[in-house]
Amino acid sequence: NAGVTQTPKFRILKIGQSMTLQCTQDMNHNYMYWYRQDPGMGLKLIYYSVGAGITDKGEVPNGYNVSRSTTEDFPLRLELAAPSQTSVYFCASSHPGQGTQNQPQHFGDGTRLSIL
Amino acid sequence: AQSVTQLDSHVSVSEGTPVLLRCNYSSSYSPSLFWYVQHPNKGLQLLLKYTSAATLVKGINGFEAEFKKSETSFHLTKPSAHMSDAAEYFCVVTAYNNNDMRFGAGTRLTVKP
């Protein structure tokens, strides 16, 4: 059982380039998330999705786009890379919360992105 | 809205001694609280969660945490540290759904031989 798989693991981009960070999960989770983690900071939510065809903004969505055409995949796109987007990006998935019984999120190993 | 404050950015203990990682939270609703661990170059792994059941929560690898509503705290403890516990630990609070999870800034745990 692979869980949450992110590709690539590392990438260096030039300012203004675009790229897509891939995320796929094999646990049939409805909910998927993208976070960024900056040094000395906790994770901040970029976008999330509660199911195929449904996406919504998180805390820091500017400069990013997402799509959710299947339950398994949730790619994150950077259209015009900027130095401020240098970060480690984590994808996560979970079952929907059941009332107050929030379900834990399962995380990928991250994509380390540098923009120069 | 909710927020989390991890009171120590770095904690250093000797192997075999107790571990205490402190977390205070703020939430407008009855919160769900989680502790995650992150080893270098890895994603986050769930240690334990509190979701309004027992206030003392036991997790993996001998960790436990106690929910104290009067103190708005959810401190993580372990009786005896092991070298493999060295990692970054994150306290997380969320409301009744998973769509607004707020992470603390993290506490780096160092374990000395």
* Rounded CA separation B58/B72 (Å): 18
Residue-range domains of chain A with CATH: 4-97+105-115 (2.60.40.10)
In chain B, residues with a C-beta closer than 8 Å to the C-beta of A45 are: 100-101
pLDDT digits (tens, 9 = 90+) for A58-113: 989 999 999 999 999 999 999 999 999 999 999 999 887 654 456 778 899 999 99
Cross-chain residue pair B43–A110, CB shorter than 8 Å: yes
CATH of domain B3-112: 2.60.40.10
Segment A19-62, tens digit of pLDDT: 999 999 999 999 999 999 998 788 999 999 989 999 999 989 99
3-state SS of chain A is CCCEEEECCEEEECCCCCEEEEEEECCCCCEEEEEEECCCCCEEEEEEEEECCEEEECCCCCCEEECCCCCCECCEEECCCCHHHCEEEEEEEECCCECCECCCCEECCCEEEEEC
Q: For chain B, what are the domain ranges?
A: 3-112
Beta-carbon separation of A42 and B52 below 8 A: no
Q: Which residues of A touch B98 (CB under 8 A)?
A: 31, 94, 96-97, 102-103, 105
A31: CB partners within 8 A, 6+ apart: A48, A49, A50, A51, A93, A94, A95, A96, A103, A105, B98, B99
pLDDT, tens digit, 9 for 90 and up, residues B29-88: 778 899 999 998 888 999 999 877 788 999 999 999 999 999 999 999 999 999 999 999
